[in-house]
Amino acid sequence: GDSVTQMEGPVTLSEEAFLTINCTYTATGYPSLFWYVQYPGEGLQLLLKATKADDKGSNKGFEATYRKETTSFHLEKGSVQVSDSAVYFCALMEDKIIFGKGTRLHILP
Amino acid sequence: KAGVTQTPRYLIKTRGQQVTLSCSPISGHRSVSWYQQTPGQGLQFLFEYFSETQRNKGNFPGRFSGRQFSNSRSEMNVSTLELGDSALYLCASSLEGLRGTEAFFGQGTRLTVV
């Protein structure tokens, strides 16, 4: 069945560092791909999305490109801030949403 | 416009009891899906309702059930609660369903079973 694998955390970075969180997927069809972010005590917020191969999703300085050839959707940000500290979930959507396990990100000032 | 509203935010129940959680989707959205989030299993899909019909179901026992009303509001019921049902339950609404459209999540209901 469909699945999403993302890098284990926690990831700890200093402010202004470059961020990459790896995400790969397996799917039988042509899913849409998403990154969601969860702040402490909150639900999930959609960070960015891509609906077809080679699409690039971007929001708040974060980017991810839908790579069908490598079945990947890695999340990147050029310069992280303390306020980016949260849990990040990679997800695919076909007839239901399949989430990765989540990556906890700590940004140190 | 208002987001997805889940009530209550917190619940404490005793083993063997049943519980009903509520989700009001974004106005105009017809699809509501439910997810269970636990530290061990992560986020798992429970079921999706669209126009009052269950369209898809995850791998959960029959103790977990749901329904959707004509105004698209949805309820999830868990009967004969077990300790392992303690989790954050999230619902998401989307305009036409889960294929290719965005899903917007509520803040969740945290259920503790003692």
Query: Is B103 an 8 Å CB contact of chain A?
Result: yes
Confidence (pLDDT) at A94: 82
Which residue among B42, B98, B108 sits closest to A95, beta carbon to beta carbon?
B98
Confidence (pLDDT) at B98: 63
Q: Do A43 and B33 touch (CB under 8 A)?
A: no
Torsion over CA: B12, B15, B19, B21 (sign)? positive
pLDDT band at residue B99 under the 50/70/90 scheme: low
Q: pLDDT by residue (tens digit) across A33-84?
A: 999 999 988 889 999 999 999 999 999 999 999 999 999 999 999 999 999 9
Confidence (pLDDT) at B46: 97
Confidence (pLDDT) at A104: 96
Confidence (pLDDT) at B83: 97
What percent of the residues of chain B are helix, what percent strand, and what percent coil, each to the nearest 5? 5, 55, 45
Query: Is A57 an 8 Å CB contact of chain B?
Result: no
Q: Which residue has the tokens 């926690």?
A: A10
Q: How far is CA A79 from CA A14, A64, A84, in A?
A: 9, 15, 10
Q: Do B55 and A95 touch (CB under 8 A)?
A: yes
Q: Do B92 and A49 touch (CB under 8 A)?
A: no
